[in-house]
A = this chain, B = another copy of it.
Amino acid sequence: MDSEEEELVRKVVSGELPVHSLEKSLGDCERAVRVRRSWLQQETQKDLTALPYEGFDYASVLGACAEMVVGYVPLPVGVAGPLLLNGKLLQVPMATVEGTLIASTRRGCKAITESGGAQAVVTQHVMSRAPVLLFPSAVRAAAFKSWAEDPLNRDALCEHFNGTSRFARLKSLRVIVAGKYAYARFCCETGDAMGMNMISKAVNAVLDFVREAHFQDMHILGLSGNVCCDKKPAAINWIEGRGCSVIVEAIIKADIVEQVLKTSVDAVVQLNTAKNLVGSAMAGMSSGGYNAHAANIVAAIFIATGQDPAQVVESASCITLLSHADNGKDLHISCTMPSLEVGTVGGGTHLSPQKACLDLLGVAGASPGKPGEHARQLAMVVASAVMAAELSLLSALVQGHLMRAHMQYNRKDAHANPPPEPSPFRDVVN
């Protein structure tokens, strides 16, 4: 830090120079960060040395991803794979600080791939936004619902909605009324973007039209009324879907269950019912917590690929089902995830490191073909990796207790009969 910067810091501390707009006033992002760090250290009397800041492309962040920047946290990225998905081999990037998570997912990928691979399908792909509207009476709110859901008004709504963007295409509109409030849940296509900004703009346009032309007594309380429902565990997302609705499945051969996963088909099927169905039922889930640790994998891939980690809340909704395959001896596994909110453009996806991770999966940027193909492929990758991780953790849980039982049984002559080698996945218990 040169004396010029020291003078800048002094000015920030004294308030002459606003700390939030240093990038703009200094015209040099990294210098701005450096000055802000110094200010922060003075303010808080803390040492920020260990927080790295050099060599980061701050320009890509400015006005787009973060403010008041003082550095960055690096999260290690590992890969789980090879994962054979819909006939294609993949290495899946995961950013995490939870030990054994990547290794465990990788073991699941191995079991799936060696058994012939996973099949995934996207059954729906829409973003939703539901403003909250207030009417003078419940009767008027009901009248609005009736009008908005009438097929006769569909074209007018689409015209105003679709006109706001090249990609936004209104697919459905349903209004939920509660007394004088109406929550108008718009669902639309958004191409390869996760789409929250796109749909917000389109909804605003429709609301302006509706208020001007049809319901002057409609009062728009807020663009989001929590029926959307973003970043909250809502049953409506679980039931009706949001983002990509994905189902993935695989048949794992009995001998691979034994050799790779060190357990038996019977044992994992039993545990899945006891834990992911009955256990979750007893814990009071209403929005998709019928899985072992889907959130771990969703979070790790989301962070690696520039998605919004706060959307893990509903994107991790998943029901994991295990059963004997039709031949009675192999294992059928599936993961159903109705609200995976992903995009390959927008958000953090344009940052180079995150883009490299998307590129590793072949889905960086907008799809050259049908809009949304990249986003849907990313969603299928996430769901498949979730399935791999579910398989591995369930096996480790079974194995863990078999091992403990064995150790306990043989305690007295432990030297004569050495216990089985500890699982490398002992720590991942969710």
User: Are B200 and A429 in contact, with the CB atoms below 8 A?
Assistant: yes
Q: Contact at B312–A223, with CB atoms within 8 Å? A: no
CA of A235 to CA of B75, assembled, Å: 31
* Count of residues in A whose CB is under 8 Å from the partner chain: 172
- Which of A136-144, A158-166, A414-422 lines the interface with chain B? A136-144
Task: Give A107 Cβ to nearest chain B Cβ, in Å.
Answer: 10
Chain B CB within 8 A of A100 CB: yes
Stretch at the interface among A3-11, A175-183, A369-377: A175-183
Q: Which among A97, A274, A275, A359 has the highest number of chain B CB atoms within 10 Å?
A: A97
Cα A400 to Cα B221 with chains together (Å):
10
Kindly state the separation between the CA atoms of A248 and B177 in the bound complex, as whole angstroms. Answer: 11
Q: Do residues A299 and B289 form an inter-chain contact, with CB atoms below 8 A?
A: no
Give Cα distance in the complex from A316 to B271, angstroms.
27
With A73-B77, A176-B239, A277-B281 as contacts: A66 and B225 at CB distance below 8 Å: no
Partner pick for A72 among B77, B285, B313, CB 8 A cutoff: B77
The reply on A290 being an interface residue by CB < 8 A is yes
Q: A226-255: contact bitstring with B at CB < 8 Å (1 yes, 0 no)? A: 111111111111111000000111000000
Residue-wise interface mask of A (129-150) relative to B, using a CB-CB cutoff of 8 A (1 in contact, 0 not): 1101010111101100110000
Cβ–Cβ < 8 Å partners of A282 in chain B: 176, 178, 183, 226-227, 239, 319
Q: Which residues of B contact A137 (CB under 8 A)?
A: 119, 249
A296 close to chain B: CB less than 8 A: yes
Cα(A332)–Cα(B277), bound, Å: 17
Q: In this assembly, does A367 line the interface, its C-beta being within 8 Å of a C-beta of chain B? A: no
Q: Find out whether the CB atom of A293 lies under 8 angstroms from the CB atom of B231.
A: yes
Q: Judging by beta carbons under 8 Å apart, are A234 and B285 in contact?
A: yes
Q: Are B178 and A321 in contact, CB atoms less than 8 angstroms apart?
A: yes
**Beta-carbon contact of B313 and A295 below 8 Å:** yes
List of B residues within 8 angstroms of A114 by Cβ: none
Is A279 touching B227 in the complex (CB atoms < 8 A)? Answer: yes
**Contact in complex: B67, A427 (CB < 8 Å):** no
With known contacts A287-B284, A321-B178, A397-B223, A75–B78 Cβ distance under 8 A: no
Q: Which residue of B lies closest to A334 (CB)?
A: B179
Q: Is the CB of B239 within 8 A of A284?
A: yes
CA separation between A288 and B280, bound complex, in Å?
11
Contact B283 A229 (CB under 8 A): yes
- B64, B90, B176, B280: the one within 8 Å of A99 (CB): B64
Closest to A402 in B: B220
In the complex, per-residue mask of A116-132: 1 if CB is within 8 Å of any chain B CB, else 0: 00010101000001101
Which 3 residue pairs of A and B lie closest in terms of their CB atoms, listed nearest first? A235-B284, A97-B348, A232-B289
Name 6 A/B residue pairs within 8 A (Cβ), A-sorted: A70-B79, A98-B347, A132-B271, A223-B400, A226-B289, A285-B287
Sample of 18 more A-B contacts, CB < 8 Å, known A46-B360, A179-B247, A231-B295: A56-B76, A65-B76, A65-B97, A70-B79, A73-B353, A75-B303, A119-B138, A123-B145, A138-B248, A141-B247, A178-B278, A178-B321, A179-B335, A208-B408, A221-B401, A234-B289, A295-B311, A309-B312
